[in-house]
Structure 1
Amino acid sequence: MADTDLLKTPLHDLHAELGAKMVPFAGYEMPVQYPMGVKAEHLHTRAKAGLFDVSHMGQVELPDPNAARDLEQLVPGDLQSLEVGQMRYTMFTNENGGILDDLMVFRLERGLMVVVNAACKNLDIKHMSESLTGPVISHDDRALLALQGPSAEFALSALAPEVATLQFLTGKWIDVDGAKCLVTRSGYTGEDGYEISAPADQAEALARKLLAQDDVEAIGLGARDSLRLEAGLCLYGHDIDETTTPVEAALTWSIGKRRREEGGFPGADVIQKQIAEGTSRRRVGILPEGRAPAREGTEIQAPDGTTIGAITSGGFGPSLEAPVAMGYVASEHAAAGSAVNVVVRGKALPARTAKMPFVPNGYKR
């Protein structure tokens, strides 16, 4: 895709002004880093607050009053139990139990708001439009900002004091310095923070007011990836895809008890069987010894040299000052602390499986 074909978010001019390095991502021209650099941006978010442009994500409204009931036909999450103002993580599944995309679902006064991944946005909207009886409204007229880190509450409260009352995975419509925003206490860094859905034409002014505060810096996709990896969070198309089920991906927690028992979603028979009987492989955390990162695609071996899996996300964890990774291994090697090897540049290097998150989360519950 040529640069001229890439879509731009409402904050594109601001990124350029701030000196961002722009790269193609999911059909958009997005900031991968700013002059501060990925490591410093990562550590700043962990210590204070980082502002991310995630406007490339899809924001889709399902205004039908029966939207929660109907969307349950496509996902294994328990949506009907959501109260107004609550949100939940779930995924679209296929008939084999594979994951078509993961998403966040928020209960509105009437219907639902759904946030889907940028790379899957068009297919997800088509999937919902063909499967649901009610309207499916893509909000391309809205930007999405993520303010993440321990100073996020202080920073956003300066513009909208009401946000301090929100707990993790709750939200509401709030006037943020004159902009009508849907603010949720959520994010994908493992830190406390907010996602702010704002009118596209007011997003830049809002971003500037947040960045004017001492603790807030602009953060790019590079640090967003290292933050979510340390938090043990999946990246669609890498750690989860159509060939992985929620059970294999260690996401069974996202399937409510009623849905586990009743089924009624694509691939339910496969997923119910895996919950009852187990799976042949599992997603696990991996901590390589030494300093060499194990990148995506790296072979994972048992101590005897037998291939038992592969890395799906890996890199250097700035907060840990050590390499971190996640991937799939044969279930008999999945217990935390199991000795494994990762094959980096042809050499089998020692590693061990580990519980995730690698860095304790800071969610306000």
Structure 2
Amino acid sequence: MSDIDLANDYVEVELQTLPLDAWHRARGGRMVPFAGYHMPVQYEGIMAEHLWVRESAGLFDVSHMGQLLLSGDALDDELEKLIPADVKGVQLGQQKYSLLLAENGGILDDLMFSRWPGGIYMVVNGACKWDDIAHLREHLPDAITLNHLEDRALLALQGPKAFDALKRHTIGRWPLDALVFMRGGLFEIAGVEAYISRSGYTGEDGFEISIPADQAEKIADLLCGEPEVKPIGLGARDSLRLEADLPLYGHDLDPETTPIMAALGFAVASKRRREEANFPGATRILMERENGPVSKRVGLLVEGRQPVREGAAVLDADGSEVGKVTSGGFAPTLGAPIAMAYVPAALAEVGTRIQLNQRGKVHEATVAAMPFVSHRYVRGAK
């Protein structure tokens, strides 16, 4: 797995339990503190779980994430003052990735949002959902209603066989295969109403499933009763996302990092939004987009077998520290250690040799094209 210190995140707060807490424990899930919750880090082992998702399908419990529903007059206009996405252009059922930005252009969180009938459904990171909710309530006018959907669970079914397993139990106004990557809609799974989007955090085809929390055990049992599906923990989720070039907030993204530095320029791809330049930090972000950032997030292939972890220093030719590793670990699919790091722009070209210092030991690495493992999203009819 990568370098997330799962056992030490948020240990000073009273931990909450997921709707499936007892379900995880009954299946041998090893529970650790993460994002203020007891969460399963693994069941049978991170390596085995990682490879199972790449080959078949895994069920992740991501109910710690914040599920929000925004509604009200002029919602699109008001939300565009806080995020750089083209909210107005998002059609019913369409999903988009975006960023909650600070005034300096730094990233307060990354998020997904979808157009629902009568509003915007938004999923934010569990570790900072309360800060996000406070930020949205502070900056959105009183005419906008924000509902935190605390009575809902969120499950992610990921892997090349996820479609086959889910289709057997799903009915809706249209067939499940009508959903392609970053589209969603209302369905029923064994009589339970579910909002299903074709998306996820592994680089594989898959689905995120929002359901009433009191129905989570029923749906988890149903899906894990399929031969393709096993429950998967946080450890494999982390190594999967690292291979797929999916940055993690609080590690690879933070309030001092802009979208351009983070190699997330696609999040400011709308010509209209760039021309209007009315999102937080627009001047800085657009200048970096035009001229390039001072430093940039890159992928690294690390020589040898030992992973390099978060916090390791990136060295220049003189041995001085010029950057930091933000995520690192062993990549089961590749059979080699990989990492993400921020390096000076002059060192960001693919193929550049890099030295890393981890606790006094120097490791050799090479800047690599990302993702390390190709995405397998379904962008057309299956």
Pick the TM interval, shorter chain: over 0.9
Equivalent pair of 1:302/1:339 in contact (CA under 8 Å) = no
**Which residue of 184, 200, 218 corresponds with 1:171?**
184
Equivalent pair of 2:181/2:199 in contact (CA under 8 Å) = yes
**Which residue of 284, 296, 302 corresponds with 2:310?**
296
Which runs of structure 2 are paired with 1:330-349 in the superposition (5 Å)?
330-349=344-363
Which runs of structure 2 are paired with 1:147-158 in the superposition (5 Å)?
147-158=157-168
- Matched with 1:305 is 319
C-alpha deviation, 1:308, in angstroms: 2.5
C-alpha deviation, 1:4, in angstroms: 9.3
- Matched with 1:70 is 78
In the alignment, structure 1 segments of 5+ residues that lack a partner are none
> How far apart in 2 are the matches of 1:336 and 1:129?
42
> How far apart in 1 are the matches of 2:149 and 2:73?
18
- RMSD, aligned CA: 1.4
Equivalent pair of 1:76/1:259 in contact (CA under 8 Å) = yes
Give the 3-state SS of the residue equivalent to 2:112 in structure 1: strand
> How far apart in 2 are the matches of 1:306 and 1:250?
24
Identity %: 50
- Matched with 1:195 is 208
- Matched with 1:115 is 123
Instruction: Report the count of equivalent residues.
Output: 364
Equivalent pair of 1:303/1:339 in contact (CA under 8 Å) = no
Equivalent pair of 2:41/2:234 in contact (CA under 8 Å) = yes
In the alignment, structure 2 segments of 5+ residues that lack a partner are 1-9
> How far apart in 2 are the matches of 1:285 and 1:3?
33
- Matched with 2:228 is 215
**Deviation sequence 1:87-133 (CA, Å, 0-9, x none):** 11111111111000110011112210000001111111111112223
Q: Which amino acid counterpart does residue 188 of structure 2 have in structure 1?
A: D
Q: Which amino acid counterpart does residue 324 of structure 1 have in structure 2?
A: I
Query: Does 1:145 find its partner at 2:159?
Result: no
> How far apart in 2 are the matches of 1:317 and 1:149?
17
Equivalent pair of 2:11/2:33 in contact (CA under 8 Å) = no
Moved more, 230-239 or 129-138: 129-138
Equivalent pair of 2:312/2:359 in contact (CA under 8 Å) = no
Equivalent pair of 1:68/1:111 in contact (CA under 8 Å) = no
> How far apart in 2 are the matches of 1:180 and 1:158?
15
**Deviation sequence 1:268-296 (CA, Å, 0-9, x none):** 11111111221110000011111111100
C-alpha deviation, 1:3, in angstroms: 9.3
- Matched with 1:358 is 372
- Matched with 2:334 is 320
Query: Does 1:283 find its partner at 2:293?
Result: no
Q: Which amino acid counterpart does residue 263 of structure 1 have in structure 2?
A: A
**Deviation sequence 1:239-262 (CA, Å, 0-9, x none):** 010010001000011112221221
Equivalent pair of 1:285/1:326 in contact (CA under 8 Å) = yes
C-alpha deviation, 1:303, in angstroms: 4.4
> How far apart in 2 are the matches of 1:3 and 1:16?
22
C-alpha deviation, 1:64, in angstroms: 2.1
Equivalent pair of 2:69/2:121 in contact (CA under 8 Å) = yes
- Matched with 1:49 is 57
Give the 3-state SS of the residue equivalent to 2:89 in structure 1: coil
C-alpha deviation, 1:363, in angstroms: 0.3
**Which residue of 96, 102, 106 corresponds with 2:114?**
106
Equivalent pair of 1:84/1:108 in contact (CA under 8 Å) = yes
> How far apart in 1 are the matches of 2:155 and 2:227?
18
**Which residue of 132, 148, 170 corresponds with 1:124?**
132
C-alpha deviation, 1:63, in angstroms: 2.2
Equivalent pair of 1:163/1:183 in contact (CA under 8 Å) = no
